[in-house]
A and B are shown apart, each in its own frame.
Chain A
């Protein structure tokens, strides 16, 4: 099977996955205790007639499965309804904050890969030396430290003591500004540290395993320079197992952004989600949770395609 056919086949599988995610999202949000009506009306007593009107406005008078179908069909066109709290369209509320989270997430993932892969390769190549041990210590620390604590420490050291960053994000300048991009480094590093540590060790062990394989000796026996042997032959095979886990890290980065955005007062969708959960703003909650689900599915899709690209045996 060619790579092209594999991609098409794998893309088709995402359709039922997306449906499943939407069903779960809808179901979970509706399982949250508390009647949305109370939050819409801020717990004021209503006469039954007004209550019915409000219910009809939000479609809450319909059977649940009708509500679901209505929600999915309009969500497919980008219409997630209006926020209960601000009465703004949900999509515009999200689009306002999504760029911030996206930039932070991409930066976090970029920092993760850019640090984890080279350091993992170096640790593997110099295995069982001081370099390897140092990387092990760093990895343990990185995995052990909770996101919110690391975020506060970074703020304390780099923003408060060294004064290299402002304490609060320079939001007024928008995401595409130098100041904001520089500031975003802090939350990005905070989110990425755990994944970096994990991927680095995985890269190391995968690489150590590959370095011992016979094909490495074959490559050396061809007279290829050591750099080619490692970068061309060993790295590609080592990446196969790393790619899958890296894709799962995307999910961790997204979920990590929720906490980290609070710590850094960062204006992304994670903070929006936490705010609205407290207010039972279920149209917004549903939309964000669905968005996160879709992002994870997409990341896995990309990982599978990369996997098949790297390892020709997968395509069969």
Chain B
């Protein structure tokens, strides 16, 4: 049994314009100590998924069906009190924009130690001690003095460290990091990712990293789930996704990454935009943007299948690469016609991790 198992999760938003299907039959798992990446464009359902794990979806959103099992217990059957004991204690969250995620009128120390006092039952002094240690562990210099500073007295990168410190303060088993580096510049981003990596290794904390940045995923994650319009379209260990993507959307995402040494004038993009989540296109959600779409794609909704066998995938129990494309169920007459070039191995001019320099090009 994995630490976190999400099965057939359906989140709906009942708006005046209609029902928004934010996630559709979403299933995945995160093992203890694992780094799991969730990738997709804005609106793909990544953040909704993470808020669903915390049961913090606001009106008019509801978790309609499915199960979220954390250490074997279904979170959706817990009462509010049990859920509160989990939040911030066993499952913690790192938010995107640290500046707004912190309360401007309390000191950062208070914002860290209030959770410690609440969950661990420590008194004021002990909680303060622990909060200062946490601040030190996320690399805030002279943490004891900075404990009494207010968020506006910190820089953006330091604020993000404080937000991470809040998440870390009660030693959670799972951290959900929702685009933790989007608001930061590249050098700070690298530092923050390094910090998260240290934390994951040192405390054996599982991290579900939500991002739209495939480069970040390549560097950080063990396994990755690519989401499109509330559906998982591809799920696999990170190397497989980079060296051998099996869904046209993943391919599109990868070829959209600008690379050093690339002599194209324009950035590659995926034409079109994500469908309206209220009125999804029939068949495969991606077909209107897919260069390989055929007639059958407009009719049949592709299930997530094991790309080797074509059998329905089991993302909760299996690590096998899975994709939701008719090419793998044998219903497509053509083939996915692209090739993956791997630079770095035989091209010493491009340094860095092999996966991050894998590229995809249409033939």
Contact = CB atoms under 8 A, between A and B. Distances in A.
B109 interface: no
Contacts of B106: 233, 236
A221 interface: yes
Contacts of B95: 214, 217-218, 221
A313 B104 contact: yes
Contacts of B111: 218
16 contacts: A214-B100, A215-B102, A215-B104, A217-B56, A218-B111, A220-B54, A221-B54, A221-B95, A223-B85, A223-B86, A223-B87, A224-B84, A224-B118, A225-B84, A228-B114, A310-B105
A311 B105 contact: yes
A86 B56 CA distance: 70
Interface in A170-225: 213-215, 217-225
A279 interface: no
A213 B100 contact: yes
B97 interface: yes
A228 B88 CA distance: 14
Nearest to A310: B105
B56 A220 contact: yes
Given A220-B56, A312-B152, A237 B103 contact: yes
Given A237-B105, A310-B105, A222 B100 contact: no
B163 A218 contact: yes
A215 B103 contact: yes
A214 B87 contact: no
Contacts of B118: 222-224, 228
Interface in A6-54: none
Contacts of A311: 104-105
Interface in B8-38: none
Contact of B87 (A221, A228, A236, A237): A221
Contact of A218 (B84, B89, B166): B166
Contacts of A236: 105-106
Given A214-B97, A217-B56, A313-B152, A222 B103 contact: no
B101 interface: yes
A218 B103 contact: yes
B101 A218 contact: yes
B150 interface: yes
A219 B103 CA distance: 9
Contact of B150 (A213, A223, A237, A312): A312
B92 to A, nearest CB: 7
Contacts of A225: 84
Interface of A: 213-215, 217-225, 228, 232-233, 236-237, 240, 310-313
Contacts, number: 74
Contacts of A214: 95, 97, 100-101
A103 B55 CA distance: 50
B115 interface: yes
Contact of B104 (A220, A221, A228, A237): A237
B119 interface: yes
A218 B56 CA distance: 10
Contacts of A228: 114, 118
A274 to B, nearest CB: 43
Contact of B166 (A220, A222, A233, A310): A222
Contacts of B93: 218, 221
A240 B86 CA distance: 32
B15 to A, nearest CB: 14
Nearest to A237: B105
A313 B107 CA distance: 11
In the A-B complex, the 10 residue pairs with the smallest Cβ-Cβ separation, listed nearest first, are A223-B87, A223-B88, A222-B88, A214-B100, A222-B115, A215-B103, A221-B93, A312-B150, A223-B84, A218-B101
Nearest to A316: B152
Most chain A CB atoms below 10 A, which of B56, B87, B104, B150: B104
A71 to B, nearest CB: 44
A312 B101 CA distance: 17
Given A223-B118, A224-B118, 5 more contacts: A221-B88, A223-B84, A223-B85, A233-B106, A312-B152
B115 A223 contact: yes
Nearest to A128: B59
Nearest to B50: A221
Contact of B114 (A213, A217, A220, A222): A222
A232 B89 CA distance: 20
A186 B284 CA distance: 70
Contacts of A220: 54, 56, 87
Contacts of A219: 103
Nearest to B110: A232
